[in-house]
Structure 1
Amino acid sequence: MSRRGRFGRLGPVGHRLLLAFVLVTAFSVVVVTGAALIGVGRGLSSSQDVTRQDAATAAAAAAARAYAAAGTWSGADLSQASAVAEAAGARLFVVSATGESVGLGGAAGTGGMPGGQGGPSGQAGQGRGAAGPVGGTGVYSAAVTVDGAQAGTVRLVFPASTLTRARDVAWTWVGVAAAAALLLALAAGWLVTRLLTGPIALTTRAARSFAAGDRTARAEVTGPGELAELAQAFNAMADAVTRSERDRRNLTADVAHELRTPLAALQAGLEELRDGLVEPDAARLAGLHDQALRLGRIVADLAELSAAEAEAGVSVERVPVDLARLAADEVAARDPQLRAAGLDVELTVDGPADVLADADRLHQALGNVLANAARYCTSGDRVGVRVGTADGHAVLEVADSGPGIPADELPHVFDRLWRGRGAARVAGSGIGLAVAREIVLAHGGTIEVTSDEGVGTTVTIRVPLPPSPQRLG
């Protein structure tokens, strides 16, 4: 699929984002262009003023040398001053100290300045002793000083079009650069907008497909940084929802399977009693009672597992607990069940194992493990319970010499309602180890099962030890 086809057209967010790019870019270009034009204009004017004033000063120095050589304006050779003015692109006018116009040939009062005496300013003697432009008219003056006294004034008249042409050239280039910058910024803004909104559009499309029932819909992980993380988060959520639905379907099927047998037995037995086909003797009633008890155990186990897997998790009230004493008490409580199964139980304590835990919950977890051993082991098998510490954890280990668990079934031992291929000959709902796992996890610990088929099974529970100041004395 092409990039255009994958990303599609810009949506409302894309249009707003692109408009924001356009407005910011246009405002920035206008501000920068205005500043550039003002700066160029002032820079050109300042540079021109300095250059023209330097020319006026140089012409005044040349006129001063000519006046000093002649002793008077009459006969003074102003050709050098005229050359300086001509080189600067200006017309030269000289005014004597008395305000009379001095001709370039050196004759006072003969003209050489249009408009008569007073020169370009239009007033005789204006600007006497002055230096710099006169009234911003393009006229620059400088005093002619000989032996410390002012002998007159030199004025250079520049055409007004010189600066205008330079400014027009500068403004043209600034305008071209501004237009190019605006176009480039707009293109970059459009591209960035597509790159930002494209992955969002893909994730939105995948979310709509997933909500419509397509559980295979996933977002394409594209885009920079947070956008790729958004797609990954959506995919992880979709996977979790899919697994949850699959587990729910499996649980429904498993519950139906577990309940079907005792319900069918109860129904058949009650129908026989109702129809008078059998006598309601003690044996018959005891069998029906056993089926009812089995149903009760399954329902209780399901309720217990549901509470353990709830969002809040298993409620744990942590108090100092001696894990060795807890194990001894639980083994003693389970002794009738273990002896009835013909098992030889041995408790070994390697040292103190004091933890902060919920004693009732740990009793429940260990009891489930021992009950599991009683169900699956055969008469004459041994069950060893060992308590100790290792690597900052209290370790509770239950090892039996029973038939073991096949390697292909070992990954499923903590699955709810799983009982393996040997389940037909034992009672139980297949929930005990799942509940034990939730309890241990609520304590921040771990539980694992290792087994060799035909050799035995070992269940190891690890619970973190408290920091040293909190350990029991």
Structure 2
Amino acid sequence: MIADRWFRSLLGSPLGRRLLAAFLFVALSSVAVLTAAALVGTAQGLTSAQQSDRRAAAARTAEAASVAYEQAGGWTGADLTAASAIADAAGARLIVQDDTGQMVWPGRGMGPGMQSMHTGAAAVVEAPVVADGQTVGSVRLAFTTTATAGRAVAWSWVLGAAAVALFTALAAAGYVTRRLTRPLQALTGAARRFAAGEPGARAATGGPGELGELATAFDTMADDVVRADQIRRSLAADVAHELRTPLAALQAGLEELRDGLREPDTARLVALHDQTLRLGRVVQDLADLSAAESAALSLHRTDTDLAEIARTALSAHQAPLDAAGLHIDTDLTVVLPVHADPDRLHQAVTNLLANAARYCHPGDRVAVRGHRSGDLAVLEIADTGPGIPADELPHVFQRLWRGQHARSVAGSGIGLAVVRELVTAHGGTVSAASPTGGGTTITIQLPLARTAWADR
């Protein structure tokens, strides 16, 4: 029953049928060729061994006839009984002729014309009779039987081995075909279910070699597609949420002014203007994120100094930092040559400084430090602000993500995502750390430019 289901599942696949047919053709061809070669080789070997045995029997018979000739002093009165016994033991009929061709054994009086009645055997082997260095006659052994028993045994063994080899080939062909088609069937079914809208469809099957890698690659791709779809849905929801609040406030305020419920005084217009600014910031952040994600296509790289970029960004953002009541410490004395786009890196550093100004409390300190670590240029921006909870650290660079403590602060949650995209586009890395006692350190690492090696 199990074998029947196994073969039905195997033959139910077009590829399985083709593979099985190909394997069977190769197996049958191989078995047929090997069987034919074995049979031919066995037959030739048996024939060769039989001929060798017959020649040896003829030589022994000729030797016995020579002894009888020498004892009788000629063929007359020679006792050829021993020679005849040797021929009989070899399964042959003995014919002895003298040097003139006259038959001596089994009896005189038989001329050459009488020999045909003795030579109608399956094979005839001759050997000369030599006495005192002279050929005095010849013996002829007429074999009437062949080695059919040996051939029958050889045929039975060869055919038995062929049957076993054919069965083994069939079993191996079925197993290999099943091993090849099973992961493909699972992969095809998973692909169809996934395309039909089942996001959890996976091949979840192993396979030999590249087939197993293909199934694993499909499952990984499906996971990435589902994750990307979830991110897309979350992004759409987050963008809608970020835009809904200022739009709702604008709509409510404008409706109040239209219906005459509020006077268009300065305070009310300022509030509406703030909502438009917030809306503009969200749109600008989304534009910055889109530009950062495609930064690798629009980078204008040049040899520049990361420390100088940090100093320029710090100078340009000094006013907001002072307005937030923050104290700035700098350690940017080491030259950090990198091959990068200065404008993009300036944007990344500015975003980090803006985050510090937004989330730190008055009186906190912000330290901007630069140093080398091996073949990397390292820029650290550390603050003594409230810090980031440990469970939120892995998410800080996700787009539109904001922690629980940051929801009371104006912002879209895109700044750090932009920083990550810009740094990654330059082949670098960015990480965040926040000790238990508070404070946050953002670390940017970029490959040093090749010209930096001479300055070490």
Taking structure 1 as the reference length, what is the TM-score of the superposition?
0.89
Are residues 1:413 and 2:405 paired? no
Paired residue for 2:114? 116
Task: Report the residue type matching 1:152 in the other structure.
Answer: G
More helix by percentage: 2
Name the SS for the 2:75 alignment partner: coil
TM-score by length of 2: 0.92
1:85 is displaced (CA, Å) by: 0.7
Aligned to 2:154: 170
2:79 is matched with 77
Is contact 2:68–2:78 with CA below 8 Å preserved after alignment? yes
Alignment of 1:237-316 (within 5 A): 237-309=221-293, 313=296, 315-316=298-299
**CA deviation after TM superposition for structure 1 residue 27, in Å:** 0.2
- Preserved CA contact (<8 Å) 1:210 1:216: yes
Counterparts of 2:302 and 2:224, CA distance in 1: 35
Match of 1:322 in 2: 305
User: Which residue in 1 is equivalent to 2:329?
Assistant: 346
What is the CA-CA distance between 1:280 and the residue it aligns to?
Answer: 3.5
Preserved contact between residue 103 and residue 110 of structure 1 (Cα < 8 Å)? no
Q: 2:357 aligns with which of 344, 349, 374?
A: 374
The Cα shift of 1:283 comes to 3.9
Match of 1:465 in 2: 448
**Number of aligned pairs?**
453
CA gap 1:8/1:164 in 2 versus in 1, 3 angstroms: closer
CA contact (8 A) 1:368 1:432 kept: yes
SS in 2 for 1:30: helix
Q: Is there any run of 5+ residues in structure 1 with no aligned partner, and where?
A: 123-135
Q: Is the 8 A contact 2:124 2:142 kept in 1?
A: yes
- Offset at 1:266? 1.3
Q: Partners in 2 of 1:226 and 1:170 — Cα distance?
A: 44
The Cα of 1:119 is off from its aligned counterpart by: 7.1
Amino acid across the alignment from 2:142:
V
- Out of 12, 21, 24, the residue aligned to residue 23 of structure 2 is 21
Structure 1 residue 115, shift from structure 2 partner: 6.0
Matched, 1:196 2:194: no
- Give the match for residue 130 of structure 1: none
Identity, % of aligned positions = 56
Tell me the CA shift for residue 367 of structure 1: 0.7
Does the CA-based 8 Å contact 1:416-1:434 persist in structure 2?
A: yes
The 2-side partners of 1:227 and 1:216 are apart by: 21
Deviation track 1:209-257 (CA, whole Å, cap 9, x = no partner) reads: 2222222222223233323222221221121112111111111111111
Once the two structures are TM-superposed, the CA of residue 93 in structure 1 deviates from its matched residue by 0.2
SS of residue matched to 2:146 = helix
2:132: which partner in 1? 147
CA distance in 2, matches of 1:313, 1:231: 31
Q: Cα deviations across residues 109-135 of structure 1 (Å, max 9, x unaligned)? A: 244x9962577459xxxxxxxxxxxxx
Post-superposition CA distance 1:279-325 (Å, at most 9, x none)? 44444333323322222221221232234335x85643332111111
Secondary structure at 1:145 match in 2:
strand
Question: 2 CA distance for matches of 1:139 and 1:344?
Answer: 122
Q: State the alpha-carbon separation in 2 of the partners of residues 453 and 62 from structure 1.
A: 115
Query: Which amino acid in the other structure matches residue 223 of structure 2?
Result: D
User: Are 2:10 and 2:17, in contact at CA under 8 Å, matched by a contact in 1?
Assistant: no
Deviation, 1:345, is 1.3
1:64 aligns with 2:66: yes
Q: Is the 8 Å Cα contact of residues 337 and 452 (structure 2) preserved in structure 1?
A: no
CA distance in 1 between counterparts of 2:233 and 2:288 reads 19
What's the CA shift for 1:467?
4.1
Runs (5+) with no aligned partner, structure 2? none
Q: Considering only aligned residues, what root-mean-square deviation do their CA atoms show, in Å?
A: 2.6
Shift in Å at residue 14 of structure 1? Answer: 0.7
